Amino acid sequence: MAFQCQRDSYVQEFVTTVVSCSPCELSLERASGKKEKVKGFEVILKDTVLFPEGGGQPDDRGTLGGVPVLRVTRRGAEAVHFVASAVEVGSSIQLKVDWDRRFDHMQQHSGQHLITALADSTFGYKTTSWELGRQYSTIELNTAMVKAGEVEALENAVNDKIRAAVPITIELLFLDDPAVQQVRSRGLPDDHSGPIRIVNIEGMDSNMCCGTHVSNLSHLQLIKILGTEKGKKNKTNLIFMAGNRILKYVEKSYNRERSLTDLLTSGVDDHVEAVEKLQNAVKGLRKSNLNLLRDMAVLIAQNFKSDPNRGNLFCLHRCVKDGDAEFMNIIAKEIGTEDTILFLTVGEERGAGLFLLAGPVDVVDRLGPRVAELLEGKGAGKKGRFQGKTSCMGRRAGVKALFRCFSPK
């Protein structure tokens, strides 16, 4: 397998021939994170400049005859392009690459090869897997921990190689070539056929890889190792970013610092201290607010109990800012539930919130599930109390109507 995008990863436009076009349905992930089924067409081309996902690298984006390519996958030795509209089989068609996405992937992938090679040769840490993420990338190393100072030493070493402008070359070898035995590899796909693609960092590393890469380490610009975290099964995850991602990250961080400086009315070096003061102030206010809520709950209960015409049904709703589960429980405890049915709710007027049904055990056991059903919520209860959550607080009137069957008018 060797597509045009693999022979020359810097090609941004390419004219090829449509081999097939078939209707299909694909599940796509939207920006919100939700998956949506989309109807379209699978297009196979004679050759492609759009990389299909593989080797830990996401697929390219671009256009096919001016139509956005929404997905590119590999099927055996072919790349399958998913588009929303059909194209004519046998026709010549132009492909254009989303270059910002492509070059970002090239920088992160070549950066991973460089870090992997130096982590192995310098510290003996082998790479067992890696992930090219949307914000940063992660390399899994076969060590339970990275010693103090090793991250900084590794970062300095990889950036020294970048400044040295070491070339990266691509070659194709067959499995029976003795040189294959000297190449780093984590194995080939089960459906692989044809020559093996080798990515060489001159004098440092040779690795089987199908991904797109820069032609010189200098094109990485810079690598920043953000840190490490505990991985699975005595392994360590090394987190990094390369190239333009660092420039965007610095710009975003600078703009955030400016915004925080205005909001906190303090210098950059004092941001943490200013936030800690705010957090302590908020904690104090919350504590005071909780005490007030407790006092309010007691007064509400006492007011009900002192009413000679109170009856044996008590209903109360408070907006989410004025109450919580503890607020409801205090009221129920103060009023008592032996002879009184209590229906208490806190939350939005018509949206989400919490509810509590308290009263005689037999009544609560019978009505609790029905209350949850009327509110389109979920809950559970025992010993005369049934608590739950709902997203339809506007249906409280239906619950009150239900209670009239069990309490005197």
Say which residues have a Cβ less than 8 Å from residue 377's Cβ, sequence separation at least 6: 355, 388, 389, 390, 391, 392
Residues 6+ apart with CB under 8 A from 132: 56, 57, 58, 105, 108, 109, 112
pLDDT tens series, the chain, 409 aa: 589 999 999 999 999 999 999 999 988 887 777 888 999 999 999 999 999 988 789 999 999 999 999 999 999 889 999 999 999 999 999 999 999 999 999 999 999 999 999 999 999 999 999 999 999 999 999 999 999 899 999 999 999 999 999 999 999 887 777 777 677 766 666 656 667 889 999 999 998 898 999 999 999 999 999 999 999 999 999 999 999 999 999 999 999 999 999 999 999 999 999 999 999 999 999 889 888 888 988 999 999 999 988 888 899 998 866 557 888 999 999 998 888 899 999 999 889 999 999 999 998 999 999 999 999 999 999 999 999 999 999 999 999 888 876 654 3
74, 75, 197, 323 from 192: Cα distances, Å: 11, 10, 11, 62
pLDDT computed for residue 322 by the predictor = 53
Pairing of strands 13-29, 137-141: unpaired
Give the pLDDT score at 190. Answer: 60
Q: Which two tokens stand for residue 59?
A: 């697929």
Number of neighbours of residue 207 by Cβ within 10 angstroms: 21
**So what's the pLDDT on residue 408?**
43
Reported as half-sphere exposure (CB side, CA atoms, 13 A), residue 351 has a value of 5
The answer to whether 43 touches 81, Cβ cutoff 8 Å, is yes
Nearest-5° angle of CA 327, CA 331, CA 336?
A: 150
CB within 8 Å of 276: residues ≥ 6 apart: none
Ramachandran class of 235: left when φ > 0, alpha when ψ lies in -120 to 50, beta otherwise:
beta
Q: How far apart are the first and last CA of the chain?
A: 81
pTM of the entire structure?
0.77
Say if residues 184 and 113 touch (Cβ distance below 8 Å): no
Q: How far apart are CA 259 and CA 237, in angstroms?
A: 32
**Cα dihedral sign, 327-330-335-340:** positive
Q: What pLDDT sits at residue 186?
A: 62
User: pLDDT value at position 4?
Assistant: 94
201, β-bridge pairs: 168, 205
CA distance linking residue 5 with residue 19, whole number of Å: 18
Q: Are 279 and 271 in contact (CB under 8 A)?
A: no
Tokens, residue 84: 């929303």
350-353, long-range: CB within 8 Å, 24+ apart, which pairs?
350/392, 350/393, 350/394, 351/391, 351/392, 351/393, 351/394, 352/389, 352/390, 352/391, 352/393, 353/320, 353/389, 353/390, 353/393
Question: Which residues make Cβ contacts (< 8 Å) with residue 115, sequence separation at least 6?
Answer: 139, 154, 158, 223, 225, 238, 240
Strand order in the sheet with 353-358: 313-319, 341-347, 353-358, 385-390, 378-382
- Residue the block writes with tokens 């100072």: 149
Contact criterion met (CB below 8 Å) for 359 and 340: yes
Count of beta carbons in the 10 Å neighbourhood of residue 374: 19
* Beta partners for residue 168, in sequence order: 201
- What is the pLDDT, as a whole number, of residue 409? 39
Per-residue confidence (pLDDT) for residue 54, from 0 to 100:
83
The DSSP secondary-structure symbol of 204 reads T
DSSP string, 303-320: HHHT-TT-TTEEEEEEEG
